[in-house]
Amino acid sequence: MRIVFAGTPEFSAPCLEACRASGAQVVAVYTQPDRPAGRGRKLAPSPVKQAALAAGLPVEQPETLKSPEAQATLAGYAPDLMVVVAYGLILPRKVLAIPTMGCWNVHASLLPRWRGAAPIQRAILAGDAESGVDLMRMEAGLDTGPVLLEKRTPIGPYDTGGTLHDRLSMLGAEVLAEGLRRTLAGEALVATPQSDEGVTYAHKLDKAEAKLDFARPAMELERTVRAFDPWPVAEGAIAGESVRIWSARAVDRQHGATPGTVLAANRDGIELACGEGVLRVTAVQRPGGKRIGAFDYLNARPELRGAIK
């Protein structure tokens, strides 16, 4: 089996390794063009490009797959199957038709819930009890194709966008490896159409969503903090200072204070009044500083301890 793999971020790299380990032949790797990164804004290769080059695989980085030239290049690799994992470019119908066995996609949600760009963070924001990965046969719609295989995982109370990302990345490699193994053994995987009920869309994250509004319930803010770790990181004001909030827990407690008021400040955390309940902040980052615990933050702002009535 000749496979063309298409992926870009770190999430995709284990799936590339699963393709290479399957016994199939990875004939080319498609990834997004190098982008500016870091303080110097120098062009940097994607994690998938780095993995492909380390493995000695041909790399293609077209700006689009809509041009006849890009489609001719892809067809020249004569792929039996195209595996797409967080690639970041839309595959036109003509591209979907090039591989003789079609195109597979590894998607980080339990479809049809959370189709789209940011399913991991949206699941945490919504308070979902579980997530998972689907191996899907691609079609022209956005994540609408039939599901071939699925693996599930609970979302724990301490899961962040980062921890769930890493777990689903490995589950994605597992479900892809199983699909390739069974297909190479001659099995025809059953394609189950997605339900028309329960469809939700995981819209791309916006930095503006990271600003915490303490008039909202504390539990919603806790989920925002967890979902936006490691990016874009929640932001909020503590006694007039805007900080990035890396870790916080909701506390079910009644109070009559104005949202955002500091209710308590000690080594256990800084408790802020919310529209419903209290948010206990345990790790922050001051402007220009590094991530620190609440105790170290209070050492830098000792006036907070005495300001609480």
DSSP-derived secondary structure letter, 17: H
SS3 239: coil
Structural tokens at position 34: 């190098």
Annotated binding-site residue numbers: 109-112
| Upstream peptide bond of 193 is cis (omega within 30 degrees of 0) | no
Report yes or no: 159 and 124 within 8 Å, Cβ to Cβ.
Answer: yes
Tell me how crowded residue 201 is: count the other CB atoms within 10 A of its CB: 15
Query: Dihedrals φ, ψ of 99, to 5°?
Result: -65, 135
Residues tagged in the binding site annotation for (6S)-5,6,7,8-tetrahydrofolate: 109-112
User: Cα-flanking dihedrals φ and ψ of residue 161, to 5°?
Assistant: -55, -35
How buried is 232 (Cβ within 10 angstroms: 0-12 exposed, 13-18 middle, 19+ buried)?
middle
- d(CA 170, CA 13) in angstroms, rounded, equals 9
Residue 164, SS3 per DSSP: helix
* CA nearest neighbour of 135 among 202, 192, 204, 74: 192
Q: Do 19 and 5 meet the contact criterion of CB atoms below 8 Å apart?
A: yes
